[in-house]
Amino acid sequence: METTLIILKPDAVQRGLMGRIISRFEDKGLQVVGSKMMQISQDLAATHYEAHKERPFYKGLVSFMTSSPVLVLAIRGNDAIAISRKMMGATFGSKAEPGTIRGDFGVSNSFNLIHGSDSPEAAERELSLFFKQGEVLSFDRAGDAWVYDMSGGKPE
């Protein structure tokens, strides 16, 4: 089981898409194990996106991410990182396939609704930036027996 960071960006919050996007993750069988609505500070945005510091879009990205509240989620499931990223769709809404979050709700190449960790290492780093110890929970869901085939001893 993996846990990944998902951020519903300012455009998703302002457009009232939070519930619809969360429902997609839950409908897929992924588990929300942490949730926090927050205003990202300049320092946190700069730290989160530090890998892009030298890129031309960095300043605009930090400005955008601090322009309005966001909803930060910890999502858990078998292969949660790859599944979440596939659900998100291509980075640019204009290029994202229908059926994906960005493909169904976005057309902008700047405002792309959602962020998701791209690797287990990134997920660990990013989750620690946005959640304090004890804010990401572990709990059993009765329905997991119908989400994952556990007959082989591990979720499949």
* Identified catalytic residue from 106, 115, 123, 130: 115
Distance (Å, whole) CA 136 – CA 109: 31
Which residue carries 């405002």 as its tokens? 111
Burial label, 10 (beta-carbon count in 10 A; 0-12, 13-18, 19+): buried
115 is catalytic: yes
Distance (Å, whole) CA 43 – CA 141: 36
Residue 47 near residue 126 (C-beta atoms within 8 A) = no
Output the CA–CA distances (angstroms, integers) from residue 89 to 36, 42, 149, in the order listed. Answer: 23, 27, 26
Residue 42 near residue 62 (C-beta atoms within 8 A) = yes
Would you mind telling me the total number of residues written for the chain in this entry? 156
Catalytic center residues: 115
